């Protein structure tokens, strides 16, 4: 209910900010999607996926440990214009290189125009390096970075 109230306040004020919600009951996800919530963590689902990955490859434990450590890298959406010129078609490998030069790791992107379009809400993770992409103002590059 708090998520719904915050989304309503956001709309009424014409503001846009990120609200991250943890849901313990996946059946509530449908309700959250109606509110255009695109920043939801379903803890049981994340834990289940993490355990499945570790069961398949125990060597991922070090990677997950680093990612989930409070002192490690975090996932950030950063303005695409900080990495490449918007309005110009580039390959994702160009985006990866631009992020590398900033000491970051590009793992995907988000098209702002599709932010309310299920099921992925404009988010593309792990695209092919040869995939052409054209960013517009408001689009984001998703990176792993220290800050």
Sketch the domain layout of the chain as residue ranges: 1-72, 73-147
- How far is residue 84's CA from residue 50's CA, in Å, rounded to a whole number? 32
pLDDT at 48: 80
CB 114 within 8 A of CB 121: yes
Q: What is the pTM of this model?
A: 0.65
- 78-134 per-position pLDDT tens digit: 999 999 999 999 999 999 999 999 999 999 999 999 988 888 889 999 999 999 999
- How far is residue 74's CA from residue 68's CA, in Å, rounded to a whole number? 8
Q: Which CATH number fits domain 73-147: 3.40.50, 3.10.20, 2.40.128, 3.30.70?
A: 3.30.70
User: DSSP readout, 14-62?
Assistant: T------EEES-GGGHHHHHHTT---EEEHHHHHHHHHHHHHH-TTHHH
pLDDT at 28: 66
Q: Is the pLDDT of residue 39 over 70?
A: no
Greatest mean pLDDT among 13-17, 68-72, 99-103: 99-103
- How far is residue 48's CA from residue 56's CA, in Å, rounded to a whole number? 13
Query: Would you give the DSSP letter of residue 60?
Result: H
What are 58's two structure tokens? 């125990």
pLDDT at 122: 92
When comparing pLDDT for 83 and 38, which is higher? Answer: 83
Coil, strand or helix at 32:
helix
pLDDT over 90 percentage in the chain: 44
Q: Is the pLDDT of residue 30 over 80?
A: no
Strand-strand pairing, 21-23 and 40-42: parallel
Q: List the beta bridge partners of residue 123.
A: 110
CB 58 within 8 A of CB 124: no
CB 79 within 8 A of CB 140: yes
């Amino acid at each position: 209910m708090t998520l719904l109230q915050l989304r309503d306040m956001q709309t009424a004020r014409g503001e846009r900010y990120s609200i991250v919600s943890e849901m313990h009951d996946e059946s509530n996800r449908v309700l959250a999607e109606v509110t255009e919530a695109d920043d939801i963590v379903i803890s049981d689902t994340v834990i289940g996926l993490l355990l499945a990955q570790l069961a398949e490859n125990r060597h991922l434990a070090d990677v997950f440990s680093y990612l989930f450590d409070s002192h490690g890298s975090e996932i950030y959406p950063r303005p695409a214009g900080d990495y490449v010129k918007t309005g110009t078609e580039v390959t994702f490998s160009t985006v990866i290189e631009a992020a590398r030069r900033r000491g970051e790791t590009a793992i995907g992107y988000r098209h702002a125009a599709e932010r309310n379009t299920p099921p992925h809400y404009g988010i593309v993770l792990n695209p092919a390096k040869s995939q052409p992409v054209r960013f517009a103002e408001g689009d984001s590059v998703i990176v792993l970075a220290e800050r």
